[in-house]
């Protein structure tokens, strides 16, 4: 074992400690080569699962997801040739559920009369892509052992915080420029028409804010496990930047869910902290870092624009809709779509599905027939395109995701990832089409497959020397 000292934020120094292979052929004589292979595989998986979060804020990099998929496929083939280890897609309920949902989307495409949307074909391809990633996970566990899985989780957390922080900083400067009267076609064509509001870099500010919220939860985990004053203050300042961008993105869901989620993450840290006095100091650093970074950002807005940063009129209007009974407390648009979806379900559709023709029907009913739309509820979409079978497969996937999320929170492995899944389920329940149209849901679902009590315990033991 290489005698490296562990430093917070670095996992390479414990890589050698974590190699407890359950499969050790003669090729493993080169210990350093094995460590490098493990590091490369875990990094590749973490990058692949982080890209969907970045694409939500920077859609123009969407091609990167498919390019990295080629690398994932190459790594699957390499491990298959080197160790004769085939990927196992059905070793867990996650694999079965994801395969079933992907199969129902393929069935829906078969049932579609006429030309199916390219987006639906891309959804099915995305489902296959995540199945391939799940196969690589199974190979990683077989070759490198259970202890390799938390490495993926830690790297994913690091990359997610980086993505959220970059989005927060970019969103802040875009917001300041917007208040000062500047905009750019790099964010939206025909600027300033249809320009994203606030800090959001895309028109779908809810999913932009969702990436920030996931990053904020991962940052809370970093703060909770910080081992020095500078690290805890640094993560607190990062959290302040992310929360500022999220609160100014225009997403009402963020305004409601973020305080609850962050408070829950902090409360879980308090409940599980053995030394309450040490936690109190840690919390004081959190408050100091968040407040100072927020104040600096507010001051920057005022200095550069001489304008209040909250755009109080629009924010007050959006907040008022949440308490407006006439607008069904902000759900009126969704309720209209759900009622229309139910009106399209006849006996044949209920049992056999009608394919994805409903997307054009929704587009004509709610927009102007130039674009497609959908019910914004995956369960209703599944019932429309694949009948009761597709709906049950979707419901099973929801159930598995919820169970894994609860276990992640309850078993003290990675509560931040469990909370993220619960939030994701809420978001996609009022925003998504098929489950495969929400890649961040699929990424977190696979990440929950990487978290386990035993694996985390092994990693923590290596990290602390216990």
Res. 304 pLDDT band, cuts 50 70 90:
confident
Res. 358 pLDDT band, cuts 50 70 90:
very high
Spatial contact of 234 and 197, defined as CB atoms under 8 Å apart: no
User: Which position has the higher pLDDT, 91 or 214?
Assistant: 214
Whole-angstrom distance, CA of residue 87 vs CA of residue 407: 25
Q: What is the pLDDT of residue 21?
A: 45
Whole-angstrom distance, CA of residue 107 vs CA of residue 325: 40
Spatial contact of 232 and 282, defined as CB atoms under 8 Å apart: yes
Q: How large is the average pLDDT for residues 374-401?
A: 96
Chain-centroid distance, C-alpha 273: 27
Res. 250 pLDDT band, cuts 50 70 90:
confident
Query: How many Å is the Cα radius of gyration of the chain?
Result: 23
Classify the C-alpha dihedral 420-425-427-433 as positive or negative.
positive
Q: How large is the average pLDDT for residues 349-353?
A: 96
Return the SS3 of 184.
coil
Q: With a cut of 80, say whether residue 451 has pLDDT above it.
A: no
Res. 320 pLDDT band, cuts 50 70 90:
low
> Would you state the structure tokens that stand for residue 419, as one six-digit string?
């909370």
Least confident among 6-10, 12-16, 35-39, 259-263: 6-10
Query: Which residue, chain included where needed, has tokens 């507010």?
Result: 298
Contacts with 456 (C-beta within 8 Å, 6 or more apart), sequence order: 150, 153, 413, 414
**E strands in 130-249:** none
Q: With a cut of 80, say whether residue 317 has pLDDT above it.
A: no
Q: How large is the average pLDDT for residues 79-105?
A: 90
Q: What is the pLDDT of residue 334?
A: 86
Return the SS3 of 355.
coil
Contacts with 364 (C-beta within 8 Å, 6 or more apart), sequence order: none
Q: How large is the average pLDDT for residues 372-399?
A: 96
Contacts with 102 (C-beta within 8 Å, 6 or more apart), sequence order: 124, 127, 128, 131, 436
Q: What is the pLDDT of residue 333?
A: 81
Q: How large is the average pLDDT for residues 12-35?
A: 52
Q: How large is the average pLDDT for residues 336-363?
A: 95
Least confident among 101-115, 267-281, 297-311, 316-330: 316-330
Return the SS3 of 125.
helix
Spatial contact of 304 and 182, defined as CB atoms under 8 Å apart: no
DSSP class of residue 12 equals G
Q: What is the pLDDT of residue 213?
A: 97
Q: How large is the average pLDDT for residues 126-150?
A: 89
Contacts with 197 (C-beta within 8 Å, 6 or more apart), sequence order: 205, 249, 250, 314
Q: What is the pLDDT of residue 36?
A: 86
Least confident among 299-308, 386-395, 456-465: 456-465
Q: What is the pLDDT of residue 357?
A: 93
> Would you state the structure tokens that stand for residue 187, as one six-digit string?
């964010």
Whole-angstrom distance, CA of residue 276 vs CA of residue 451: 26
Spatial contact of 216 and 246, defined as CB atoms under 8 Å apart: yes
> Would you state the structure tokens that stand for residue 113, as one six-digit string?
């009369």
Average pLDDT score, the chain: 84
Contacts with 454 (C-beta within 8 Å, 6 or more apart), sequence order: 146
Whole-angstrom distance, CA of residue 268 vs CA of residue 181: 43
Q: With a cut of 50, say whether residue 452 has pLDDT above it.
A: yes
Q: What is the pLDDT of residue 449?
A: 82
User: Which position has the higher pLDDT, 321 or 6?
Assistant: 321
209-235 pLDDT tens trace: 999 999 999 999 999 988 888 999 999
Q: What is the pLDDT of residue 10?
A: 39
Burial (CB count within 10 angstroms: exposed 0-12, middle 13-18, buried 19+), residue 252? middle
Q: With a cut of 90, say whether residue 340 has pLDDT above it.
A: yes
Q: With a cut of 70, say whether residue 323 has pLDDT above it.
A: no
Residue 31: left (phi > 0), alpha (psi -120 to 50), or beta?
A: alpha
User: At how many degrees (to 10) do helices 415-429 and 252-272 cross?
Assistant: 160
Q: What is the pLDDT of residue 301?
A: 87
Spatial contact of 55 and 79, defined as CB atoms under 8 Å apart: no
For residue 5, how many C-alpha atoms fall within 13 Å in the half-sphere facing its CB? 1
> Would you state the structure tokens that stand for residue 157, as one six-digit string?
């957390």
CB atoms within 10 A of CB 26: 5
Q: Which of 86-90, 201-205, 322-326 has the highest mean pLDDT?
A: 201-205
DSSP class of residue 413 equals S
Whole-angstrom distance, CA of residue 346 vs CA of residue 233: 58
Q: What is the pLDDT of residue 3?
A: 35
Contacts with 334 (C-beta within 8 Å, 6 or more apart), sequence order: 376, 377, 430
CB atoms within 10 A of CB 335: 11
- CB neighbour burial string for 97-125, b if at least 16 within 10 angstroms, e if fewer: bbbbbbbbbbbbbebbeeebbeebeebbe
Spatial contact of 330 and 87, defined as CB atoms under 8 Å apart: no
Give the percent of the chain with pLDDT over 90: 57
- CB neighbour burial string for 220-241, b if at least 16 within 10 angstroms, e if fewer: bbbbbbbeeeebbbbbbbbbbb
Q: With a cut of 60, say whether residue 9 has pLDDT above it.
A: no
Burial (CB count within 10 angstroms: exposed 0-12, middle 13-18, buried 19+), residue 315? middle
């Amino acid at each position: 074992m290489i005698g490296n000292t562990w430093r917070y934020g670095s996992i390479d120094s414990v890589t050698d400690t974590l190699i407890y292979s359950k499969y050790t052929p003669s090729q493993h004589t080169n210990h350093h080569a094995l460590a490098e292979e493990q590091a490369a595989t875990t990094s590749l998986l973490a990058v692949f699962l982080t890209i969907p979060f970045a694409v939500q804020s920077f859609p123009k990099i969407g091609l990167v997801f498919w390019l990295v998929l080629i690398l994932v496929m190459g790594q699957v083939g390499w491990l298959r040739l080197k160790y004769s280890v085939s990927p196992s897609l059905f070793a867990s309920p996650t694999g079965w559920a994801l395969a079933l949902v992907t199969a129902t989307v393929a069935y829906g495409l078969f049932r579609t009369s006429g030309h199916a949307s390219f987006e639906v074909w891309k959804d099915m391809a995305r489902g296959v892509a995540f199945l391939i990633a799940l196969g690589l996970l199974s190979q990683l566990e077989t070759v490198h052992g259970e202890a390799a899985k938390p490495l993926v989780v830690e790297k994913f957390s690091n990359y997610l915080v980086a993505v959220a922080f970059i989005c927060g900083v970019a969103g802040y400067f875009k917001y300041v420029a917007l208040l000062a009267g500047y905009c750019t076609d790099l964010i939206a064509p025909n600027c300033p028409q249809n320009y994203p509001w606030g800090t959001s870099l895309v028109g779908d500010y809810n999913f932009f804010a969702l990436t920030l919220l996931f990053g904020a939860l991962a940052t809370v985990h970093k703060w909770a496990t910080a081992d020095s004053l500078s690290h805890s203050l640094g993560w607190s300042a990062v959290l302040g930047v992310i929360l500022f961008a999220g609160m100014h993105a225009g997403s009402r869901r963020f305004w409601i869910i973020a305080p609850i989620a962050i408070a829950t993450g902090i409360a879980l840290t308090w409940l599980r902290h053995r030394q309450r006095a040490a936690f109190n100091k840690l919390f004081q650093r959190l408050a100091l870092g968040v407040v100072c970074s927020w104040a600096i950002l507010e001051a920057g807005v005022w200095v550069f624009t001489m304008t209040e940063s909250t755009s109080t009129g629009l924010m007050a209007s959006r907040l008022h809709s949440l308490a407006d009974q006439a607008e069904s407390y902000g759900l009126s648009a969704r309720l209209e779509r759900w009622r229309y979806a139910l009106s399209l379900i006849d006996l044949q559709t209920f049992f056999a599905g009608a394919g994805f023709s409903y997307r054009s029907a929704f587009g004509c009913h709610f927009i102007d027939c130039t674009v497609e739309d959908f019910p914004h509820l995956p369960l209703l979409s599944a019932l429309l395109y694949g009948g009761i079978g597709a709906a049950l497969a979707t419901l099973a996937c929801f159930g598995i995701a919820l169970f894994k999320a609860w276990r992640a929170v309850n078993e003290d492995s990675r509560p931040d990832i469990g909370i993220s899944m619960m939030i994701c389920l809420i978001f996609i329940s009022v925003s998504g089409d098929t489950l495969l149209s929400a890649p961040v849901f699929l990424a977190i679902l696979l990440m929950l497959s990487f978290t386990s009590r035993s694996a985390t315990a092994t990693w923590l033991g290596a990290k602390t020397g216990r």
